[in-house]
Each structure stands twice: as C-alpha cells, then as structure tokens.
Amino acid sequence: MCTCFVIRSRFFAVICLLALFCGTRTLFAQKNTVGITWDKVTAVSKTTPTLQVVVNPMLHRGSPIHDGTFEALKMLGADYVRFVPWFPYPHMAVAELKPPTATETFWDFSHVDPMVEDLMKATEGHSVIINFSTIPVWMFKTEKPVEVPADPDQVFWDYNPGTELRDTTLKELTDYYVRLFSWYTQGGFTDELGKYHKSGYHYKIPYWEVLNEPDLEHHVSPELYTRIYDAVVTALKKISPETRFVALALASENNPEYFEYFLNPANHAPGVPLEGISYHFYGTPSDDKITMDNCQYSFFDKADGFIDKARYIESIRKRLAPGVFTTADEIGNILAGSNYTDPIPKEYWNLSGAMYAYVYLQLMRLGIDIAGESQLVGYPTQFPDVSMMNWKNGKPNARFWVLKLLKDNFGPGDKLVATSLQSRDLVAQAFVTEKGKKLLLINKRNEARSLTLPAGASEMQFVDVSTGDGPAAQRRLTSGALTLTPFSVAVVTFK
C-alpha cells in the first residue's frame, strides 16, 4: 500500500513537471508569435521617411563618390529632402565671408552652386527643405576677426564664435538672407553697394528652414531666435508667398522652453505664420566601450527616451499651435565626436539602420509628419559614423537601404492595425497600405531571433549584414516560421 502511494506520487510529480515544461514551451511560443487583427485600425500614418544632405567636399563634382551619391539620391525619390550648407566648411555654407566695405563686397557662390544644382536635379519632382543655416560670423561681436582657411575643403570647426549680433535691429542679417534667397529664386540680387549680381536661378523652394541648432550654434535664446524667425520669414514671404517655413531645428529635444516660447503666437509679430517646427536626435553609446553588444542596448534605450520627449513636445504643440507640422529632420547615431577614426564594424550600419526604422515607427505612432535620417554623406573629419554612403566605394550602405525599404513600402495614409508580439528584442507592426497588407519587423539585437507569423505571409524583403552595401534582398515564404538575423529590418507582404 505504501509502495503504491509512492509510485502514484512520483507519477503525479512527473506529470506536473511535464505540464509545466509544456506550458513553458507554449508561453515561449506565444511570446514569439506575431498576432495581427487586420480589420482593427489603431492609427493612420501621416509620416514621410526621408533624409538630410549636408555639404562637404565629398559632394563636390570630381569627388570619387560624387556621381554615386547623387545617383543614389535620385534613385531614392524621397520628398522633404533637407539640404544644409553648414559652418564646418565656411566656403560651402556662407555666401559672403567678409563684410562689405565702402567700395567692395565679397559675395561668392562658387563653392555651393554646383551642389545646389546637383541636389535640385537629383530631387526633381520631389520637395526639398533648404537650410542655409550659417550666419556669417562677421555679423557677431567677437574678440577678433575669424580667419577662415583658404582651402575650401579644409574643415574648420571654429567658425561660429559670438553670441551677440552687431546689428541688434536684425536688418543686416535679414538683408543677407533676402539676397541669398533671391540668388536661387529670383535670378539674382542687388548687393549693399547697388551692384546687381545675376545667377540665372529660378528654383521653386517649397520649404525653407530658419537656422540650425540655435541652442548650440551661437547659443541663441528662444526670444532672439523668435525675433530672427519673424524678421526673416516676413522678408522672404514677400519674395515667395508660397514657400513654407520650418523653425527651431534644435540640437536637443531637452529644451521645452524653446517650444513653449516659439509656439505661442503671442510672442510673434502680427501676421507672421507658424508653419513647421523641427528637432534632432542622435543615439550614442552609454560609455567608452564602443561595441555592438553595448550599443545595441544604449541606442534603443536612448531612442525610447527621445520618443518620450517628442511626446511631450507634441503636447506643447497641440496646446499652443495645433496647425503646425513637425519634422524630426536629423535622426542618426554618433559613436564618438566628429572625427571618429576607429574601424567601424560592418554590423554598426545595420544597427543604426534598425534604430532609424524603430524611431520612424514610433514617430509614426505619435503622428509626426516627417522623419529625416541623417545624413547622406559623412566621412572622416565630418561624422563618418553618420554617413548613408560608403565613402570608400561610393555605394549606399545599410542605413540608406533601410530608408529605401521603408520609403518603398510605407507612407502617409497607411493604416496601422492591431499587432501583438511579446518580445523585448523584436518589434512588429502591421499595416494596410495601398500596395496591400504589410508587416514591419525589426530585430534590435546582435543575435538571430525566431518568430512565427500568421497565415498568409508570402514574401519578405530585408536588409541585414548579409546584404552589405547592396539593396534589400527578397525571399519567398512558404511557412510561418521565420528567423531574423542580427539587426535585420524586414518587410513581409501578406496575400
């Protein structure tokens, strides 16, 4: 009798263990199973994926990657391409490097005109956001004049000292932007001494962004920035009433006072339109140990922090100026400073691309209008880790191909539908688009992850380490079982 009891007890224990094991396996399977309710719409996208183009010597005609770069930009076919002549290359960013004298002016567009021409040709048929972001430094009060290198290709990070404009009425600054804008839209301008300079350009500029990162560059206060915006926009609207203006372009989303002040119509001159705002985000390593195993966590953790701040900024915008659109027009990663010289692992480009895809998706859920990846070309001396082109061979890298994958499959008007996936490492979101039913998948980790898809999956496009500097690969799907390789970004099409 006792023996029988022991046997039954042991049998019961084994059954319990088996049940527990099977239950664990069931939970594990559920955790990695994508669930989609196609007829339950959770949001409608208004977000356009795009990129920014920052001037540097690699965009010069004759550069070894010039042709490939602009061919890639044209092939991408993106809207809202942001073009930024920026201060580290003063000859390419500032059209008047010296102040006028009583007898002479110093206007010179020779180092930027070819880039503008190539940009406008490559984006023909698509919208652009132009931002000649750099105010001539001679317009600021400085201890001594700033001498720029004679070589236009030499990087010069010391161009923008000074925090106080020498002309506090802003007329000098406004006149500069009127002439610069007229050079590209009106065929030319009349300079400070009454001489006419002919350009022959009559570009239509749909969007113009006023300055770049004023919270860093010259440490412009919200009050002064708002005065500059009002003065510049009022003057340029007289030249091109149809041009819309983007404001702020803040380096950090940690400055709510800029949004609180600028978005309050009471702080603007009468009649000045508030049309768009912008801000930036770069994921960075959490410490000096720059490895992909570390960055895979820090990049996405900081992305989540950024999204929380973007949500707060949205609450300010909706409260003060609900008609204003928003562009997060610099999204990328920076490993360590502007001149990172260590070898960049090939996996990094995929990790950075995966982070952009993740931020794009989260901004879409917030209702942000534009998500701009940074930047088309970087290279040693000018943030090589932010490049979307391989500066050694002139081919687009994985960051570019992730953007193209997203741009070719998703856009404004897509319906986000209820999607479930219990995983901290994988991200899934299903859409009903004009091209059919799609599922965006992102592997945030430096390890392969398996999952199970619902019925109907027929094809997958993906960018991962195996695709290198090539476009997204394609694969037919014959079952619901799927493995995503490290840092893979994939789009699955359903029948």
Write out pLDDT tens, residues 389-427: 999 999 999 999 999 999 999 999 999 999 999 999 999
Element (H, E) at 283: strand 276-283
Residue 276 has pLDDT above 60, yes or no: yes
Q: What tokens appear for 333 in the block?
A: 């990663």
Average pLDDT of the chain? 93
> Distances in Å between the alpha carbon of 370 and those of 293, 335, 452?
30, 24, 32
Q: How many residues does the chain have?
A: 495
Q: Mean pLDDT over residues 262-275, rounded? A: 98
Q: What tokens appear for 307 in the block?
A: 């999204």
Residue 439 and residue 427: Cα distance in Å, rounded?
A: 10
Q: Mean pLDDT over residues 3-21, rounded? A: 43
Percentage of the residues of the chain whose pLDDT score is greater than 70: 94
Please confirm whether the linkage preceding 154 is cis (ω < 30° from 0).
Answer: no
Q: Is 106 exposed, middle or buried (0-12, 13-18, 19+ CB in 10 A)?
A: middle
Question: How confident is residue 287, by pLDDT bands cut at 50, 70 and 90?
Answer: confident
- Is there a contact between 401 and 463 (Cβ–Cβ < 8 Å)? yes
- Is there a contact between 46 and 369 (Cβ–Cβ < 8 Å)? yes
pLDDT of residue 27: 38
Instruction: For the domain covering 47-412, report its CATH number.
Output: 3.20.20.80
Percentage of the residues of the chain whose pLDDT score is greater than 90: 90
**What's the one-letter identity of residue 107?**
W
Residue 250 has pLDDT above 70, yes or no: yes
Residue 410 and residue 414: Cα distance in Å, rounded?
A: 7
Residue 232 has pLDDT above 60, yes or no: yes
Residue 27 and residue 445: Cα distance in Å, rounded?
A: 21
Give the distance from CA 50 to its chain's centroid: 7
| Strand 370-373 to 325-333 pairing | parallel
Please name the residues in contact with 11: beta carbons below 8 A apart, sequence gap of 6 or more: none
Element (H, E) at 293: helix 292-320
Could you give the angle at the alpha carbon of 296 between the alpha carbons of 295 and 298, nearest 5°?
55
* Helices 66-76 and 113-122: angle between axes, nearest 10 degrees: 40
Q: Supply the DSSP symbol for 165.
A: B
